[in-house]
Amino acid sequence: MLPVLAACGGEQGETGSNGADEPPRELYRQGMAEIDYGDLDPDDVGLHVTWATNPISYDPRPDSETARLTDVTINSYGGFDRVTFNFEPRIPGYRLHFTQAGGGCDGTGAGAGTPAQLAVEFTRATASDEGSSLINERDLTPGHPALSRAVQTCDEGDRVTWLLGTSGEAEYRLMEALAYTLLVVDLRVLPASDAVPPGGEFD
C-alpha cells in the first residue's frame, strides 16, 4: 500500500497536500534524473514510486469529496511514454495493476486489445457531470513506443477505470504532482529477457 511509501522521509522533510482539507503527505523521491520529470517541475512532485510491475494502491480518506477527472493527456519522452490524469480538487484513491481481464466496471467488457494492459482504477472519483463526460477523448491510440492505447472503461458509482494498453510486457512508475493534483503514470516496454512469465506479477 502506498501509505507506507508516503510515510518515508522525504527531502529536507518537505510535505505536500493532496487537497485543501487533506493532511499533508511527506514527499518521497527516489533516483530521479532531470529527463524523468519531463514537463513536471521537480518541486511539484510529492510522491515517486520507481519502475515496477507489481500492484500499487492508495486508499482515499472515507470522508473525502469525490474527485473529478477533468483531463487525460499523453506524451512520449526518451525511453518512456507518459499518461497524466488531471483531477479536481484532489487526487482520489487509486490502484494500478497489470491485468489480463477485460474492461468495464466488472472486468468483463472489451479490453485494450494490446499485448499487455495496465489497469488504472480510481475510487471516490468521477469522469462525468450529470451524465456528460468531463473528458473530451476517452479512447486514445497514440501509437507511441510503449503505449498503444488508453481507454476509459468505467465511470460508475464513484469508480473510474482506464486501461493503458502497451505494445509488449511493460513496467511502470508513478508520480503525484500535488500542486496541480496530477497522477502521472510512465510506461516502458521490458526487454524480452525481463518480461514477466505467465503466472508472475500480472493478474
Contact by Cβ (8 Å): 49, 56: yes
Residue 185 pLDDT > 50: yes
Compute the average pLDDT of residues 167-190. 95
Least confident of 47-61, 97-111, 119-133, 155-169: 97-111
Give the pLDDT confidence of 92-118 residue by residue, as tens digits: 999 999 998 888 888 888 889 999 999
Compute the average pLDDT of residues 142-155. 95
Q: How many CA atoms lie within 13 A of 193 on its CB side?
A: 0
H-helix or E-strand containing 6? Answer: helix 2-6
Give the pLDDT confidence of 24-53 residue by residue, as tens digits: 444 445 567 888 999 999 989 988 899 999
Mapped onto helix, strand or coil, the DSSP state of residue 91 is coil
Count of residues making up the chain:
203
Domain range list for the chain? 2-194
Q: Which one-letter amino acid corresponds to residue 20?
A: A
Between CA 188 and CA 26 the distance in angstroms is 27
Give the pLDDT confidence of 8-26 residue by residue, as tens digits: 323 322 333 444 455 444 4
Between CA 177 and CA 111 the distance in angstroms is 28
Contact by Cβ (8 Å): 11, 27: yes
More confident site: 156 or 63: 156
Compute the average pLDDT of residues 60-72. 92
Contact by Cβ (8 Å): 163, 83: no
Confidence of residue 193 (pLDDT cuts 50, 70, 90): low
Between CA 112 and CA 119 the distance in angstroms is 10
Confidence of residue 7 (pLDDT cuts 50, 70, 90): very low
Compute the average pLDDT of residues 130-141. 90
Pairing of β 25-26 and β 15-16? antiparallel
Third-level CATH fold of 2-194:
Immunoglobulin-like (2.60.40)
Compute the average pLDDT of residues 132-160. 94
pTM recorded for the entire structure: 0.81
Question: Shortest CA distance to 170 belongs to which of 153, 186, 182, 183?
Answer: 186
